[in-house]
Chain A
Amino acid sequence: GAVVSQHPSRVICKSGTSVKIECRSLDFQATTMFWYRQFPKQSLMLMATSNEGSKATYEQGVEKDKFLINHASLTLSTLTVTSAHPEDSSFYICSATRLAGAETQYFGPGTRLLVL
């Protein structure tokens, strides 16, 4: 199966700082990447859809200026949590789909963010 990586896997930061999370497709080209957020014991909530070379599409209720998404290449998308606050603490997970005709989203291992 396709491999998607995320970095870092865990991050602890102080309130007010910004944190960047990388999502890479390692063995395929991904036209589209998705960013999700998951609270403990809950389902995944889609935050935004990221297409290479264009602006991300955010879901209703997700602050664009708070969660900056950049999809600079067919193998890399980044999520930056700006001016993080404790309520931003969560599990962030990305997924990617292949360039041509695949049916499946492949997920990264996720990033646990703790804001103190």
Chain B
Amino acid sequence: AQKITQTQPGMFVQEKEAVTLDCTYDTSDQSYGLFWYKQPSSGEMIFLIYQGSYDEQNATEGRYSLNFQKARKSANLVISASQLGDSAMYFCAMRRGYNQGGKLIFGQGTELSVKP
């Protein structure tokens, strides 16, 4: 069975510092996709970054990078130079298969608080 685990219910980081949010996954599929979403208090889910299982390079999107370690089945999100607006819930998610339309399985989420 597929599973996503986020072991950090809450994290604190000082403004302008980097922070790593952990995500491990369990799957027997060879092809899958990994996502990170941000959910501010307003509730909307904001797509941050995507990593395909066959992608050799770690994904990066601006201040976000995904530290993909396939053998360890981890897909940690690194946020560089934290900003106050980064305070939110962060969800890691996995989708079976490479193509669009697959179901997403979400982790429990990590609540990030950025301190001024």
A pairs with B: yes
> Which residues of A are at the interface with B, using a C-beta cutoff of 8 A?
1, 31-32, 34, 38, 42-44, 46, 49, 91, 93, 95, 97-98, 100-110, 112
- Once A31-B101, A34-B104, A43-B108 are accepted as A-B contacts, the answer to whether A93 and B45 lie under 8 Å apart by CB is yes
Question: Which residues in B have their C-beta under 8 angstroms from that of A38?
Answer: 43
Near A by CB (< 8 A), chain B positions 91-115 give: 91, 95, 98-101, 103-104, 106-109
Q: Among the listed B35, B43, B99, which residue makes an inter-chain contact with A112, where contact means beta carbons less than 8 Å apart? A: B43
What's the Cα separation between A32 and B99 when bound, in Å? Answer: 12
Q: Report B27 CB to chain A, min CB distance, Å.
A: 16
Interface contact A101-B43, CB-CB below 8 Å: no
Question: Which residues in A have their C-beta under 8 angstroms from that of B37?
Answer: 107
Q: Among the listed A1, A31, A34, A109, which residue makes an inter-chain contact with B103, where contact means beta carbons less than 8 Å apart? A: A34
What's the Cα separation between A32 and B42 when bound, in Å? Answer: 24
Interface contact B108-A107, CB-CB below 8 Å: no
Q: Which residue of the partner chain A has the closest CB to B107?
A: A43
26 contacts between A and B (CB under 8 A): A1-B47, A38-B43, A42-B109, A43-B106, A43-B107, A43-B108, A44-B45, A44-B91, A44-B104, A49-B103, A93-B43, A93-B45, A95-B104, A97-B101, A100-B100, A101-B100, A103-B50, A103-B98, A104-B50, A105-B95, A106-B47, A107-B37, A107-B44, A107-B47, A108-B44, A110-B45
